[in-house]
Amino acid sequence: MASRNREPEPDSNPDPKRSIRSTEEDEEEEERPAKLRRSDGGDQVTDGGDRRGRPEGEMKQRYLVAVEYVGTRFSGSQQQPNCRTVVGVLQEAFHKFVGKPVSIFCSSRTDAGVHALSNVCHVDVERISKRKPSEVLPPHEPGVVKRAVNHFLQKNEGDIMLIDVRCVPPDFHARFKAQERIYFYRLLCGPELLSTFEKERAWHIPEELDIFSMQQACNILVGCHDFSSFRAAGCQANSPVRTLDELNVSEATPSPNFPSILGKEMVNTFKEQPLECSTSSEMESSTNSASGMHANNGVSTVKCSQLFGQRRSHRCYIVTARARSFLYHQVRLLVGVLKAVGTGELKISDVERILNAKTVTATSPMAPACGLYLGNVKYDFS
């Protein structure tokens, strides 16, 4: 594992020169005061900061919500006109719950096709009595918010859900209070086509990967560097310097996996050994080994170590990247270089050359969005 322990410091289309600024990760690590911005509708709203001069009696509670989603059918996380986005769908669900519009602010921006095991947002909610609209009620409990919003989310496409909710102070900002972000990238290796269940969930690499060489490349890239070679055109970060606390490659069990049906031993057989067939006669005796067949009423039977109808598994590798903040498309550009090292397209010495070039034109093609997962966002609640 390549990792650096430090005080914690947000990421990812295969053309790294693409200049269109979409909604992928481009996180600033420093805390900043709330700024006025213009929303899609043209109204001025605060960027999630503590609002001053609230009307007397207004009791808004700020909630921190963790959300998981499959990014395939989203045009990214940030709200865009005439597009289905993570923030747009969340705001619609909260609107139905509380009966009035809300603004949601994400800790990390994700591109179209990028998934999240846990992205974190904050939202201010005021609880108003439906019978007496002028009456302000005590805030909802977090569990009530989670159940109610999920009720409306499940009536949508069913590809997004709240997984946790907690109350936070009114000045707690999901983006600027984040201490650390972890991303995972899934690579499935093998000559067979991807399973239907894995479509748009991983990057399929037909060749085998040299994981040892990939880990050596990780050791070069981890730490504090000028990552100009690993940020795409359109990056708005003030500085290309980032500290990559961890970057490593590990093998994982392919998914979907059903242990009760398909034992680990059988999974390893499919994954590591070629298809081997033996005849029933070979299993019964060696007398017919020359022919390799056993006549049974004139019909030859062949028994194989792989069950008929059972798909052969791909090898699954996970690239883990951990830092306080990432540049625009940084993780996907890093994975693109690691993959090139794993297939032999690049040598270990090329990785250092690319890093020192300080230009994205020196980097390998960017990894596709479908394999990237925002894994977790960490905070200090003390």
Q: Within a 10 A sphere around the Cβ of 119, how many other Cβ atoms?
A: 29
> Which of the residues 15, 40, 47, 111 is marked catalytic?
111
Q: Which residues pair with 316 in a beta bridge?
A: 188, 252
Residues β-bridged to residue 243: 224
At 138, list the tokens.
Answer: 């005590």
User: What distance in Å separates the CA atoms of residue 289 and residue 282, rounded to the nearest whole number?
Assistant: 6
Active site residue 164: no
Helix (H, G, I), strand (E, B) or coil at 326: coil
Burial of 136 from C-beta contacts in 10 A (0-12 / 13-18 / 19+): middle
* Pairing status of strand 372-378 against strand 115-126: parallel
Pick from 41, 53, 127, 112: nearest CA to 77: 112
Decide the pairing of beta strands 372-378 and 277-279: unpaired
The residues near 94 (Cβ < 8 Å, ≥ 6 apart) are 102, 104, 123, 125, 149
Q: Where are the alpha helices (DSSP H) in the chain?
A: 86-98, 142-154, 211-221, 264-272, 280-284, 330-343, 348-357
Within 8 A by CB and 6+ apart from 362, the residues are 229, 353, 354
- 113 within 8 A of 368, measured Cβ to Cβ: yes
Residues annotated as catalytic are 111
